[in-house]
Structure 1
Amino acid sequence: MEETVRLGSVTLRLADTAGMRETSDAVEKIGVARAEKQLEQADLVLAVFDASVPLEE
């Protein structure tokens, strides 16, 4: 999901990606690959985590 937002003279493209994880599901692998491509092209990455779920290493 993507949306373009304009804040004054600054234009931002916000993208919500699927969860980033190892998977054996073919369709999910496509989503993760697309998300990784967006990360490589980004000038800034904002990571949002669910604080009710413990972080894994």
Structure 2
Amino acid sequence: MRPGERAVLLGPGEIGEPTVDDWAAWSDTLPHEVVTGLGARLHRHLRPAATTTLRSL
């Protein structure tokens, strides 16, 4: 990676990017802890999903 290049830290996993569940498993924690632990300084770029999938917890 070079300065200024985009890094995808979380995603749906469709093209190989890690999911929140992946990060939680690697960190031995809950997905909620991963998301809330990112902090306010992280620049977020949210895109609407191509399809909406609902899942029960």
TM range (shorter): 0.3 to 0.5
* TM-score of the superposed pair, with normalisation by structure 1: 0.36
The structure whose Rg is larger is 1
Which has the larger share of strand?
Answer: 1
* TM-score of the superposed pair, with normalisation by structure 2: 0.36
- Structure with the bigger RCO (C-alpha within 8 Å, sep 6+) is 1
